[in-house]
């Protein structure tokens, strides 16, 4: 059934050869005890050592998160934020929201220029940064669930920063890329671009200022970042450069512990991200819309499968544009969006043979008989990692600076990059952000508010037993990329490595394009064009990684054409 389908296997920008998945399927990495999958090998190995030394999945996740802040500066961070989804072996689940939040001095129209249009200040410059949450999130996870000493988990990262690590060609090439924002900031130029003498593969990058910051975190925990010298230096730099974050903002930051969003799909139980992530709701909506359509009959990446999944995506992103935001500021209609009757109505609007114009699709609640009147009170460079330990505890973490290298600004004397997460708000409701996403009042800027996110860390069980841990970076494409890999494993019965390697696709309502990752058979694109889709080729749709549990074995997958690592023992 799978013979003749295409799979990924080439570098970005090149067409993928057409292979038979049966003949040339790539086997996942297997391990019998514990596993870490991360998008940077040194960080993955750091987490694996924690597991081998008796640490649990949360211990390993903390160590990986800090290590990535050193070895993966494009997205790993101290100056950003994200989400951690945890499922313990006893079935206990929780969701730690350490998303950045708007400073107290933020205002709804702070990025609107004299002409009434949104400016680029939400992307570039010191005013683009929200209050960072990463250190607080990792600290709370350790406080609640960790077993190893905190200092031992931060030490590998501080050592990597002080002693340096050897740059691979992909990292060196990313640093010297003329399009990255590091070139716009003097401190970033000094550290990452060596003042105009770019690093090459094989050279060592040392970050002594970052090491000193990490040492204060190791000694003081969360207070080592949000209070004392680090907070004082960050606030002073903000004042000097017109930024908004103050010592008071840092001291007031709190992680929000939330109940994960849960649902069922066939005989699987889905545990995923609640708002302010739009990802979990979007994933469950897609599952509800696809259930019963028979979309799988022609196989994965067939025109039929792509069509039905795309039409579900289109409706998900229309709903996202109107109804989703920070639940502390806005009454998110989660239950209404996930009602079976609503999803059945949405499913019924899908033409099985033709694309629907996005102009004909609107946010749907007001059009359904069940909707009731109410007052309704994200770069593509994020990173994700999964951890499963020998006891069956599982952790999925997605965290981000938003754009590649965030704002590109490195805080003087502190060595870490700042996020540009304020662009994930609707700076001007009704106008698109850098990812083309349209937002409404639900995601407008307010002091202390957390911006809407596409991050979709997800854990899946079957018959009460851990089955899959999955997530991805990829900006607005995270939700669709994660969903596709889940469907490839659950519905198309692919192994996890082939699932993450299979070319993906993306549709986000507006703009009305179907993005096809390089590697699809030409006939599929032609069929979809005849169905009415406007197709644009793309290098990638999220960078998905996953762990699947098969009996007593863990099977891990990370994209073959990229440079992540599955580390297990």
**Nearest to 327, CA basis, from 385, 282, 276, 367:** 276
- 407-449 per-position pLDDT tens digit: 999 999 999 999 999 988 887 666 665 555 555 678 889 999 9
How crowded is the C-beta side of 95, counted as CA atoms within 13 Å? 23
Q: What is the DSSP code string of 426-492? A: -SSTTSB-TTS-B--GGG---TTPPPPB----EEEEETTEEEEEEE---GGGHHHHHHHHHHHHHTT
Taking the C-alpha atoms of residue 419 and residue 413, their distance in angstroms, rounded to an integer, is: 17
- 265-307 per-position pLDDT tens digit: 999 999 999 999 999 999 999 999 999 999 999 999 999 999 9
* pLDDT bracket for residue 158 (50, 70, 90): very high
- 461-482 per-position pLDDT tens digit: 999 999 999 999 999 999 999 9
Tell me whether residue 382 is one of the annotated catalytic residues. Answer: yes
Cα→Cα distances 222→227, 234, 508, Å: 8, 15, 37
Multiple choice CATH, 259-378+455-545, 1.10.10.10, 3.40.50.720, 3.40.50.2300, 1.10.246.130: 1.10.246.130
- Active-site residue, selected from the candidate residues 382, 400, 456, 558: 382
**Which pTM does this prediction carry?**
0.92
- 10-24 per-position pLDDT tens digit: 222 222 233 333 333
Q: Is the pLDDT of residue 374 over 60?
A: no
Q: Is the pLDDT of residue 25 over 80?
A: no
Strands 514-517 and 535-538: parallel
Query: Are the C-beta atoms of 75 and 542 separated by less than 8 Å?
Result: no
**Residue 132 falls in which region: left (phi positive, over 0), alpha (psi -120 to 50) or beta:** beta
Taking the C-alpha atoms of residue 30 and residue 415, their distance in angstroms, rounded to an integer, is: 37
Taking the C-alpha atoms of residue 58 and residue 79, their distance in angstroms, rounded to an integer, is: 20
Report domain extents, the chain: 38-257+381-425, 259-378+455-545
């Amino acid at each position: 059934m799978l013979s003749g389908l295409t799979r990924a296997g080439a570098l970005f920008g090149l067409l993928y050869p057409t292979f038979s998945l049966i003949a040339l399927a790539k086997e996942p990495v297997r391990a019998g005890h514990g596993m870490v999958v991360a998008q940077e090998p040194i960080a993955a190995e750091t987490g694996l050592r924690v597991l081998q030394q008796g640490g649990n999945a949360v211990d390993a996740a903390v160590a990986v998160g800090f290590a990535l802040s050193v070895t993966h500066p494009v997205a790993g961070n101290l100056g950003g934020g994200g989400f951690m989804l945890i499922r313990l072996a006893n079935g206990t689940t929780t969701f730690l929201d350490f998303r950045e939040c708007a400073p107290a001095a933020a205002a709804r129209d702070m990025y609107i220029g004299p002409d009434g249009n949104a400016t680029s200040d939400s992307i570039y410059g010191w005013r683009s940064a929200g209050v960072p949450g990463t250190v607080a999130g990792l600290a709370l996870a350790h406080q609640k669930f960790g077993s190893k000493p905190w200092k031992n988990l931060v030490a590998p990262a501080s050592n990597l920063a002080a002693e340096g690590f050897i740059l691979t060609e992909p990292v060196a090439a990313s640093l010297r890329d003329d399009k990255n924002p590091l070139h716009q900031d003097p401190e970033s130029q000094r550290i990452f671009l060596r003042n105009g003498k770019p690093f090459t593969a094989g050279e060592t990058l040392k970050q002594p200022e970052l090491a000193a910051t990490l040492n204060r975190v190791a000694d003081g925990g969360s207070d080592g970042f949000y209070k004392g010298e680090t907070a004082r230096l960050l606030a002073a730099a903000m004042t000097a450069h017109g930024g908004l974050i103050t010592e008071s903002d840092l001291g007031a930051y709190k992680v929000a512990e939330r109940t994960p969003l849960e649902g069922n799909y066939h005989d699987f139980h889905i545990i995923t991200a609640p708002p302010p992530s739009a990802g979990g709701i979007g994933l469950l909506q897609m599952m509800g819309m696809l259930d019963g359509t028979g979309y799988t009959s022609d196989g994965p990446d067939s025109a039929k499968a792509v069509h039905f999944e795309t039409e579900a995506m289109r409706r998900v992103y229309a709903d996202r544009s109107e109804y989703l935001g920070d639940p502390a500021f806005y009454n998110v209609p989660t239950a209404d969006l996930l009602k079976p009757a609503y999803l059945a109505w949405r499913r019924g609007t899908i033409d099985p043979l033709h694309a629907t114009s996005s102009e004909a699709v609107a946010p749907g609640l007001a059009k359904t008989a069940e909707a009731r009147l109410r007052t309704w009170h994200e770069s593509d460079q994020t990173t994700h990692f999964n951890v499963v330990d020998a006891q069956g505890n599982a952790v999925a973490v997605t965290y981000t600076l938003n754009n590649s290298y965030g704002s590109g600004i490195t805080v003087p004397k502190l060595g870490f990059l700042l996020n540009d997460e304020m662009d994930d708000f609707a700076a001007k409701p009704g106008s698109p952000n850098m990812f083309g996403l349209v937002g409404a009042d639900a995601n407008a800027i307010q002091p202390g508010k957390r911006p809407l996110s596409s991050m979709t860390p997800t854990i899946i069980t079957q018959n009460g037993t851990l089955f899959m841990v999955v997530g991805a970076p990829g900006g607005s494409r995270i939700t669709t990329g994660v969903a596709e890999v889940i469907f490839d494993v659950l519905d198309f019965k692919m192994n996890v490595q082939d699932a993450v390697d299979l070319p993906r696709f993306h549709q986000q309502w507006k703009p009305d394009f179907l993005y096809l990752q390089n590697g699809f058979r030409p006939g599929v694109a032609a069929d979809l064009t005849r169905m009415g889709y406007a197709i644009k080729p793309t290098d990638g749709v999220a960078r998905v990684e996953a762990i699947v549990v098969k009996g007593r074995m863990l099977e891990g997958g990370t994209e073959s054409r990229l440079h992540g690592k599955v580390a297990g023992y």
